[in-house]
Structure 1
Amino acid sequence: MCRLLRALIALALLAACSPVLNWRTVAIADAPLTVMLPCKPDQAVRDVDWGAGRMPLSMVGCEAGGATWAVSHVLLGQPQDAPMVLERWQQALQKQLQLATTIPAGVPFLIKGGLELPQAMQVEWEGRDAKGGAVVADVRWFARLEGNGVRVYQALVLSLGQPVAPTARDTFVQGLHLR
């Protein structure tokens, strides 16, 4: 029995260290966050407007193991805008995933150093990509005070057809550290 348990633990560790998922710690250059990503990340910035005016949304992410692994963030000048922006961000993803008009419920998500907000949550949604293919989004939203403003974040694993392995998802989520 002990051997079987050791073998199962070894298999789980090997799955988390799969050559397809080459984990590395990435310090986000323009935000106080460190993240674990399973591949060499790309970076992009685009403007968004979720009710607090146009603002640059920074993204860091990569594709590995049949999934997109990404962290996005935006700095808001007014901390009181965080709940509205997080809610509109969630609605934008809901629309992108072609979900019904009612957003499925989430579970509260609190990261060490983060703000406790009702909109800071984790969800797993099944939806459709732009081509109509089935996708699963495993998402965390959170926020942190930064100077006189607040930075809001989205950590996302978007996989085709089915969720990623729990060990890989947990490695990604447990690798989120506010600095």
Structure 2
Amino acid sequence: MKIRLPSSAVALLLANALLGACSPKYNWRDYASPDAPYRIMFPVKPASFTRTIDLDGMQVSMTMTAADVDGATFAVGAAEAPDEAHAQAAVAAMQEALMRNIGATANSRTAAAAPGKNSRDVDATGNSNGTPVRLVGHFEARGKRFYQVIVLGKPGALPPEQVEQFLTSFKL
């Protein structure tokens, strides 16, 4: 005895089997910070924490929001300086500190500064605990606020299209 299923039932079973086999690494979602005026797309659900950091003698409370996918960390750090001049200085200090942490050599560029805005981008390679790492980041100050938007991980764990998606989704 043969059992015949309608073609729509076969199609539905096939679709369910295919969807069940898929587990996307990147499940992009919009994130609006409750602490700072920015939005960004994270590849998975992020977590946040706040701690005090020292940027060349300036103590600030920075909130980091980050998500990890297959050894790549996607993160945004946001803080507020006492004034605009300190926020401008923090941009360079953050970039230098991150690069120093991985003993990086860099291919960086500084974007033209507009009144009240200063930004720079970096693509650097270095080592963390003896393992090669790549840092791709955007650092920006607007008024008294400053931000770091970075992707960090093993060079092979940073798909260019995913890095681009993250960095270009950052909006103030």
Aligned residue for 1:86, secondary structure, equals helix
Q: Could you tell me which of 106, 109, 114 is aligned with 1:107?
A: 109
Aligned residue for 1:77, secondary structure, equals coil
Q: Which has the higher contact order (CA 8 A, sep 6+)?
A: 1
Structure 1 position 94 matched with structure 2 position 99: yes
1:47–1:57: 8 Å Cα contact kept in structure 2? yes
- In structure 2, the gaps of 5 or more residues are 1-22
In the other structure, the counterpart of 2:17 is none
Cα distance in 1, alignment partners of residues 39 and 111 from structure 2:
17
Q: How big is the shift at 1:134?
A: 0.5
Cα distance in 1, alignment partners of residues 36 and 61 from structure 2:
13
Q: How big is the shift at 1:79?
A: 0.6
Cα distance in 2, alignment partners of residues 114 and 142 from structure 1:
13
Cα distance in 1, alignment partners of residues 116 and 101 from structure 2:
26
- In structure 1, the gaps of 5 or more residues are 1-17
Q: How big is the shift at 1:66?
A: 2.7
Aligned residue for 2:87, secondary structure, equals helix
Q: 1:49 to 1:89 in 2, by over 3 A?
A: same
Report the residue type matching 1:77 in the other structure: P
In the other structure, the counterpart of 1:12 is none
Structure 1 position 56 matched with structure 2 position 50: no
Q: How big is the shift at 1:105?
A: 4.8
In the other structure, the counterpart of 1:127 is 126
Identity of aligned residues (%): 26
In the other structure, the counterpart of 1:157 is 151
Report the residue type matching 2:35 in the other structure: D
Cα distance in 2, alignment partners of residues 151 and 77 from structure 1:
9
Matches within 5 A, 1:35-46: 35-46=40-51
Q: How big is the shift at 1:163?
A: 6.1
1:44–1:59: 8 Å Cα contact kept in structure 2? yes
TM (normalized to structure 1)? 0.76
Q: Could you tell me which of 122, 135, 138 is aligned with 1:137?
A: 135
Cα distance in 1, alignment partners of residues 33 and 115 from structure 2:
16
Q: How big is the shift at 1:89?
A: 1.2
Q: How big is the shift at 1:53?
A: 3.0
Report the residue type matching 1:108 in the other structure: T
Question: Greater shift after overlay, 155-164 or 73-82?
Answer: 155-164
Cα root mean square deviation, aligned: 2.3
